[in-house]
A = this chain, B = another copy of it.
């Protein structure tokens, strides 16, 4: 019985996601669904990305959070359109909540809409929001075994950002273990080794995401 209920919810989510995807394609807006564990660095990534690409592209952000608007507050200084969705305990965003808030954006004046999903490596990967693609962010401090243990997100991601590489010397993280695991799950996915706070590897990310926005 539970499976059937889940299937209905997923079907309804998929239908709405398809509508969202169609609308964004019409408006020529790239939507990036950013997924990670809590504290992997999604908001810091957005801060630096707004800083680096804000003059080149028209950026909007949807901030998914269980409660509080703290992440949105951190992005206010970039003077971009931001909408917060508080899930009030919910463990992921769904296409209905995205669809509802799209009306708050002037889509004709946007190039890219970043969606910062709720911090959760599991549930968000199961709900299509109508995004152009999913982006996986994972911190080296989480250990090198995450792709193998939480394969769903890594299988679906269009790119993987391995963040906090500056912490590797202080942990037992093995890049070899991590990349072997990842290759087994998603052989050709682009992998960026970055440190949002220290700046390492960020140019490669800016170049790649800039290319994705341009070819939307």
Contact = CB atoms under 8 A, between A and B. Distances in A.
A93 to B, nearest CB: 12
A91 B126 CA distance: 11
Number of chain A interface residues as a range: 35 or more
A85 to B, nearest CB: 14
B66 A149 contact: yes
Chain B CB within 10 Å, residue with most, of A65, A142, A166: A142
Interface in A11-36: none
A108 interface: no
Instruction: State how many copies of this chain the complex holds.
Output: 2
Interface in A54-79: 65-68, 70
Interface of A: 2, 5, 9, 37-40, 65-68, 70, 89, 91, 118-123, 126, 139, 141-143, 145-146, 148-152, 164, 166-167, 170-172, 197
Given A39-B141, A89-B126, A119-B122, 18 more contacts: A5-B5, A37-B119, A37-B121, A37-B142, A38-B149, A39-B142, A66-B122, A66-B149, A89-B152, A91-B91, A91-B122, A119-B149, A119-B150, A120-B120, A120-B121, A141-B141, A141-B164, A167-B167
